[in-house]
Amino acid sequence: MFTGIITDLGQVRAIEQRGDRRFVIATAYPLDEVEIGASIACNGCCLTVVEKGEGTFAVDVSGETLSKTTLGDWREGTRVNLERALALGAELGGHLVSGHVDGLAEVLEKRREGDSWRFVFRVPPELARFIAAKGSVCLNGVSLTVNEVSDEADGSARFGVNIIPHTAEVTTFGVTGPGDRVNLEIDLLARYLERLQGPKA
């Protein structure tokens, strides 16, 4: 489990194509404290550390994950939001995040609003009903509060969030803009409530 509070801004150092795709990611984490097999959320995707180097760790990513997230677009030099797994007893500063990406959201707008940035995203119809005003979402691994939601005629939805200067500085949102796609994880409660309601008639 994670919290959506980014603790390092890493960078893809190398990419190797094996049976799966291996990414080597540079990090400022003290890697002597990171075990092989540990989970690290990378742009919101829970990935397993399979190898460590000097200031780097490696993760293997399956074709399924590459096709369903933005990880398939990663190149050498890509910046990556990083968060280590939540330790028992640690402060829960964001909201509970599983690291299992539900789909992609597209950035439609980015504009100044005071000192902050206002982002507007579009989500596809299959995810639109899970977005609620004042609810939580996780975008590229960042825990954010939804400001407003509007439904579109095609079943999709638009929603807005504010990115404060600190978040823009320490995450990839500082360089994210219109046309970019981000990994979206809906709130865990919304996911389980949908399941409990059973199949639609």
Res 105: pLDDT: 98
What share of the chain has pLDDT > 70, as a percent? 92
- Please tell me whether residues 20 and 47 are part of one structural domain: yes
94 found inside a domain: no
Flag whether pLDDT at 196 surpasses 80: no
Average pLDDT for residues 108-114, to the nearest whole number? 97
Q: Is the dihedral of CA 166, 132, 158, 139 positive or negative?
A: positive
Q: How many domains are there within the chain?
A: 2
- Please tell me whether residues 79 and 120 are part of one structural domain: no
In angstroms, how far is CA 175 from the centroid of its own chain? 15
Confidence of residue 84 (pLDDT cuts 50, 70, 90): very high
- Please tell me whether residues 53 and 139 are part of one structural domain: no
> 107 is in which domain, residue-wise?
103-197
Res 198: pLDDT: 62
Res 18: pLDDT: 86
End position of a domain, from candidates 53, 84, 115:
84
Residue 24 sits in a domain whose CATH number is 2.40.30.20
130 found inside a domain: yes
55 found inside a domain: yes
- Please tell me whether residues 78 and 115 are part of one structural domain: no
- Please tell me whether residues 116 and 182 are part of one structural domain: yes
Average pLDDT for residues 123-147, to the nearest whole number? 95
∠ CA(42), CA(45), CA(46), 5° rounding? Answer: 90
Confidence of residue 87 (pLDDT cuts 50, 70, 90): confident
